[in-house]
Amino acid sequence: MGPLNGIKVVEIGSIGPGPWCAMMLSDMGAEVLRIDRADHVGAQPDGARAIDFVNRRGRRSVAVDLKNPDGAEVVLRLVEQADALIEGSRPGVAERLGIGPEECLARNPRLVYGRMTGWGQEGPLAQVPGHDINYLALSGMLHAIGPEGRPVPPLNLVGDFGGGGMLLAFGIVAGVLEASRSGKGQVVDAAMVDGASLLGSMFHGLRQIDAWHDRRESNRLDGGAPFYGTYETSDGLWVAVAGNEPKFYAVLVEALGLSLDELPDQMDQSGWADTRKRFAEIFRTRTRQEWVTRLQALETCFSPVLTLDEALEHEHAVARSAFVPLDGVLQAAPAPRFGRTPGQLTLPAARPGEHTDEALRDWGFDANEIAKLATTHAIKQSQSTQ
């Protein structure tokens, strides 16, 4: 049933890191109830096929008009039974809707109120709009990522999902654990700019002791070192090497038909450009598969650079069932893996309002209340059967 079995979470619908956090909690067994906007019911012709439909797996959807006082009351009723709430609006929006921390904690003093924003709940940028790339830019991480010529956004992995959703999931679990001892809830302020800075703490530390150059492609881990990077093969594909440690580097050099004696010292940065050029010329003499055959079995930290499609079918992923079918597509399996209480995929992504009546009944609303709320347009049930 998952290690979070028995934990109940109310998720105020948002995009990006909020749904991803809720997905993490749901994968681990928490019962997460998503609150979608009532005006989104039927508005998406392809139903759950929104941009983040994978991130919306594992929970039911109730459609609520939060601008309707009766709709706000629905959320507060749900909060009374919940261990945590997730919301991802700009600071002050939840308060204006009547579902801010003060109102929710008044109903449930043990509630962990998780807030997901880009810049945090206070500070000069708190009300400024932004996306993943902006939070990375301000944290210093974007400056450090990419080729020498320009910074490159690493998809939206570092801000949205790692520095945002995962940070909030950790905060909620930590908050629920603390509340189980103290009997008191609290607000968790998860800002993506904070999370990106936290993920980059090693590099900030190295820079401040002059152990990291403030230029891209000039350090061991940013593509500057010839032994840690990617190389094109003769068939136009790519391989990745990470021979950081001297023992792995020595094996790599030998496998490339070179010797340590004919190369500069591994850590002599003045020789990195020439060594990289020699490595690149050699890697271009064989196909990617030929390099896999030659290097994969050696202890040299080597991997082929797989496409998204190839990654689904790689023998290691298949052996570990790393991708499992749900909602018509292969999706990443729950992680991390628990030996006794493993996480699991349950429901596919829900259409907005797909479970309004059913879920409200399960959370203690009677039929008359549900009918009245529908009459006042505080809630809406999706009628689609697709």
Tell which residue, 11, 50, 52, 55, has the closest CA to residue 33: 11
Tell which residue, 9, 49, 43, 47, has the closest CA to residue 26: 9
CA distance 187 to 284: 54
Angle at 22 between CA 20 and CA 28, to 5 degrees: 105
Tell which residue, 11, 33, 15, 54, has the closest CA to residue 164: 15
Question: Is the separation of the CB atoms in 74 and 68 below 8 Å?
Answer: no
Residues known to be catalytic: 131, 160
Question: Is the separation of the CB atoms in 165 and 24 below 8 Å?
Answer: yes
Annotate 72-85 with DSSP letters as a single string: HHHHHHHHTT-SEE
For the beta carbon of residue 1, count every other beta carbon within 10 angstroms.
Answer: 11
Q: How far is CA 110 from CA 75, 92, 177, in A?
A: 16, 22, 11
